[in-house]
Amino acid sequence: TQADPDVALAQTIDADKVQATGAGADYAHSSDRSALAVVRRYEGGLFAPLYVEEKASGQDVRPTEVYKSFALKAKSLGARVIASDVHVKENAREVYERHQISYKLSPSTEDVFDAGRMVFRERRVSLAKLSEKDRELVCKQLSQVMVIPGQAGKMKIHLPRTSVKDIGNGHGTTHCD
């Protein structure tokens, strides 16, 4: 079952029923973009992203500054933990802890994808908290995610590698996992 952004766009949220706020970051420091997403879980198991951000990578962008920026943004929105890939574990953890944010190892891309498909299928996602521009961008990226049959009956996930923001400008790459 594919994600149905139209259902997610129409979902309403009872703002008084927040159960938890968390964040996830995917860092790319050489040729890609780093991304942050802050999400709230509401009573009844509804999930709503509050904020998404991408930062361009490059020689003039220091990884520690990206970690700091993401930690401060996540904290300002109520998150106290950021899940990130293992390849940034020690460096990110050190910066996060300076800003009272904990590091958590993120699940595999496949596990995140499976959980995402489940909450979309169960209609437990709302995009209502995102800005109109970010809602459009997220819906565009969701429409580009594909599942391709792989070896031994496994499914391979193909994530868009071109930023929707950059498509309009004719350049750049990123990923939406």
Stated pTM of the model: 0.79
Give the pLDDT of residue 170. Answer: 45
Give the pLDDT of residue 73. Answer: 97
Nearest to 78 by CA among 8, 17, 18: 18
Splitting the chain (177 residues) into consecutive groups of 10 residues, what average pLDDT does each group show? 65 82 86 86 90 82 90 97 84 92 88 84 87 82 76 72 50 45
Burial class of 15 by CB neighbour count within 10 A (0 to 12, 13 to 18, 19+)? exposed
